[in-house]
Structure 1
Amino acid sequence: MARTRRSFTDEFKREAVKLCKQPGANVTHIARDLGIEASVLRRWVTQERGGVLDLRPNRPLRSEAATEVERLQRELRRVTTERDILKKAPRLLCQGPAVKYGFIARHRSVWPTRTMCRVLAVSHSGFYEWMGRAPSQRSQDDARLTRLIRESFELSDRTYGSPRVWHDLRALGESCGMNRVIRLMHQAKLQARHKRRRLPGDTGSRLENHIAPNHLQRDFEASGPNQKWVADFTYIWTAEGWLYAAAVMDLYSRRIVGWSMSDTMQAKMVSDALLMALWRRGKPSSLMHHSDQGSQYTSDDFQQLLKAQGITCSMSRRGECWDNAAMESFFSSMKTERLSRKVYRTREEARSDVFDYIERFYNPVRKHSKLDFLSPVDFEQGLTG
């Protein structure tokens, strides 16, 4: 039988390459965990080093020609800046460092300091030393207050905001305003723990004519792969805001066959998750896709995608989370076993952790009670443990 060529989304490639960039990473082991050839993963790593693969989220892969154009544009900007500096100071190259430093100080708002130092052949550290002055009394007072603010903040187990910190300073006899405390806390990056965020609501409008009957009827068993897929998405809090993660599960093996993540709660996210599943599994016949009645799943774009692929649409009844219990169980496990144990500073950190949980732990390793304690990948391969 002819072997089907596998396709991978840009999102999958980015997360796989980021795993390879971690300290001590072994490309062969990572490729085995992800179920891909090591040569394929090495090619992606080479593409990233050459600038063809952009690791920033929501960026399309670039061709080598586009990458070369960007490099030439950066080089042109550098040469143009150096030319402008030399045109402004044609005789400075023969002058001493003090004269050059004076020119740099006067034009810091026009060109980058380090660029001017390089063009004029002087040390940037020497320039900053030349610029050095004794700190003002105000700066010395700010440094002392910052130390006291930090002590108050740490003693509160990092829970105090500026009002409580300000009262602590007043109790110590310090005379300063609330705005000064706010400024110093901001500069020191001292931010109190927030109250638990309310989950964002689904502000999109449901298209009632696109709401499908519940064909699944809580029958979460399948006799073979690609018969019943269930889908949903969840919310992950980061210091930058919410990250939304959509997933598609094959009920036969409980394997996550498609996923996607986004900064916004749009229909494109759930469509991308379904497209990844289709790329991975081919174009299944007689497939049922079950979800809730969220506006993302009732949108025109998503419904057209289902029709184009010949997929039967099934939806939970409104307010009945048990109608999609298998998907709810997966997200509950992911949060309990991984997400709730960490605090994510950026959405990118959360993206990487969700990718690692799905592709390196849940699918290939995690033993599932519904599968006689085999992992989804081992169950599909017919292993007996």
Structure 2
Amino acid sequence: MSKKTFSEKEIEKLSQNPYVKSVTSRGITYTDEFKQLFIASNQKGKLPREIFEECGFDVNVIGLKRVQSSGKRWRACYRESGVLGLQDARGQSSGRPSSRELTLEEKNARLEAQNTLLKAENELLKKIRFCGMGVERQVELPPCKKYILIRTVIKKYHLHRMLNYLCKMAGISRSGYYRYWSSASVKMRNQREQKDEQVKEIILKAFRFKRRKKGARSIKMTLEGQFQIVYNLKRIRRIMKKYDIMCPFRKANPYKRMMKATQEHRVVPNLLNREFKQDIPGKVLLTDITYLYYGTGRKAYLSTIKDSSTNEIVAYHVSDRITMDLATETLLNLKKNRRFKKAEGAFIHSDQGTHYTHPDFQKLVKQMGLGQSMSRRGNCWDNAPQESFFGHFKDEASIKPCTTMEELRREIKDYMTYYNHYRYQWNLKKMTPIQYRDHLLRAA
């Protein structure tokens, strides 16, 4: 078939010819009447070009090669089956030989090639899907990966005659495969690879400059300031990603990426809007987690729930690990607190930390009959009273002298008792949190 394609104007012009049944940018379907007319005229000695021109076709538009190949095909079909050879069983214009029935051996060979390609593709996708975080995500291989995969499969399993079938299975064109592996393309990729290697060595000099490892932006500034070399920031990041040059500081949190990939975590609206003092005990609850450094470089984590109206700490939990249990155990401790009375419309407010966006935490909040509210992203003032409590706690509690976890827990328990029952606060009308809670309940 001719490789010539038709423009929109040519398609419109050809469609107006009564001997054309349909036309696309790549081919024409002629009527049975025209084919029979062509055979009759050709048998009288007329050339294919003459017949087409007499029937109103512009041979320059159609292409002489397409005219000759159509005539040759129709003559062969007429010799074999007569007039019926120019039609197929559905009554549509034909003239093209029908697809050959595959033998059993050919079918088995195709199935084997298909299975081999799918196995190889799955092996390659396994390395990409999990991204080092244990989270599977849907990945579509880029064409260049498919070209390499098909070439590897063909060489390994000697499937040289299966190229067309494998390209079709992979959803790529055979011309694209040949173009990718042409000598010009291979040469260009090799040159690009050599250039990337040179750039990598320069980037590594900046990365290791003064024996201080750096990120992409610091590398860019170091190259400009110390080596008078200007590289685009995207180029630096591409080379770093390609050769696994990673800055060990302030890396992206893999847990947050995992949350985004799984789409399990949900952020809820800010219902509080900094209206902390509503003078209703048990209505607005604030929660957060803080770090505690004690002993000789040991670290623990404290999670608290604070009544915003009374400043009372109604529940807390201490742990040496910052797992989901830290937040959920605090909620369960609130449930066990017999002194806590939940008000109508009560809700718990937090930041957008992973503990509070986790489905387990949000499910437990609903089971306890509480609503949920979250601060705006990166805005600590939306949970200011809770942050203020942590500041006073670290100033007043004797955390650093504790040498064991048991000592730390005892000190925290003593402080919570002191804070709720004996620490008078100016903005609570000079009362303790417990006294102020009772005062509000009597006033109600």
TM beyond 0.5: no
The TM-score range, normalised by the shorter chain, is 0.3 to 0.5
Larger radius of gyration: 2
Q: 1 or 2 for the larger relative contact order (CA 8 Å, sep ≥6)?
A: 1
TM-score (norm 1): 0.44
